Amino acid sequence: MATIGENLRRIRKARGWGQVALAKESGVSQPTISEIETDQRDPHASTLRKLGDVLGVESAEFFAQEHPPKPPKTPLTEEPEDRFDERFAATDVVSAEELQEKVGAEFDKLQGYIRGLKAAGIEGDDFQLKQARRRLEEAKRRTYAATSRATDLALNAEFGRDRPVYDTVAAYVGQAEAVAEYVAGEARQKPGEAV
């Protein structure tokens, strides 16, 4: 549960106010604002009204439960599969690495978003959480495929290798799933048994 101070800090930052500017505009001293935000001081109702007036919120907002975070923008993850595959197939070594970095950054944002949802008390079968997990899985697939393609292209170019280079995410993910299935099958084999 968010404290009054945490809510004040969140609202102040979301509105683009610094403590000094808020102090000047509201008439509440900057040290007092700092002490409220760090939960070192319980504010009077009149203080919250003054701060709320400047920030454009009702005093009750300072007592609100923590709000769930907004979903991050992840255009590469949300791009339709056929369009992403066109972009993917057109990459060379450098642009495949750049694509991997961009989709990887979206993966990181989605992980942070899911942590934020959980911190806000959103669990289980909640629609937001299910959607975020679905997007995270897609970002993971696309990151893996872009990393694999960049590696294959680099090995072919730098060492004259003749590794197969695929033009779709599904082809790379399918190869990885086939290898994982084979390895799992090998692990289940008893020592000395033929495959």
Residues 110 and 87 in one domain: yes
Question: At 7, is the pLDDT very low, low, confident or very high (cuts 50, 70, 90)?
Answer: confident
Which class for 162: exposed (0-12), middle (13-18), buried (19 or more C-beta within 10 A)? exposed
**Nearest 10 degrees: Cα torsion 49, 50, 52, 54:** 160
Per-residue pLDDT at 144: 92
3-state secondary structure the chain: CCCHHHHHHHHHHHCCCCHHHHHHHHCCCHHHHHHHHCCCCCCCHHHHHHHHHHHCCCHHHHHCCCCCCCCCCCHHHHCCHHHHHHHHHCCCHHHHHHHHHHHHHHHHHHHHHHHHHHHCCCCCCCHHHHHHHHHHHHHHHHHHHHHHHHHHHHHHHHHCCCCCCCCCHHHHHHHHHHHHHHHHHHHHCCCCCCC
State which residues form the domain around 148. Answer: 75-188
C-alpha dihedral sign at 105, 107, 108, 109: positive
Q: For residue 167, is it within any domain?
A: yes
Residues 117 and 168 in one domain: yes
CA distance 113 to 171: 29
Per-residue pLDDT at 142: 94
Residues 103 and 49 in one domain: no
Over the stretch 24-68, which tens digit does the pLDDT of each residue have? 999 999 999 999 999 999 999 999 999 999 988 888 878 876 566
Higher pLDDT, 165 or 118: 165
Per-residue pLDDT at 139: 95
Per-residue pLDDT at 18: 93
Tell me what percent of the residues of the chain surpass a pLDDT of 70: 88
Q: For residue 52, is it within any domain?
A: yes
Residues 172 and 89 in one domain: yes
Token output for 73: 């923008």
Q: Are 165 and 156 in contact (CB under 8 A)?
A: yes
Q: For residue 70, is it within any domain?
A: no
Instruction: CATH number of the domain at 35, please.
Output: 1.10.260.40
- When pLDDT is averaged across residues 6-10 and rounded to a whole number, the result is 87
Q: For residue 69, is it within any domain?
A: no
Tell me what percent of the residues of the chain surpass a pLDDT of 90: 55
Residues 184 and 116 in one domain: yes
Per-residue pLDDT at 16: 87
Per-residue pLDDT at 69: 74
Taking 70 as the threshold, does the pLDDT of residue 131 lie above it? Answer: yes
Residues 91 and 34 in one domain: no
Residues 82 and 59 in one domain: no
Domain count, the chain: 2
Which class for 165: exposed (0-12), middle (13-18), buried (19 or more C-beta within 10 A)? middle
pTM: 0.60
Per-residue pLDDT at 129: 86
Taking 90 as the threshold, does the pLDDT of residue 99 lie above it? Answer: yes
Residues 102 and 180 in one domain: yes
Residues 156 and 105 in one domain: yes
Per-residue pLDDT at 27: 96
Of 15, 30, 63, the one marking the end of a domain is 63
Phi first, then psi, for residue 17 (nearest 5°) are -100, 140
Residues 129 and 173 in one domain: yes
Over the stretch 153-190, which tens digit does the pLDDT of each residue have? 999 988 887 888 999 999 998 877 776 676 677 766 65
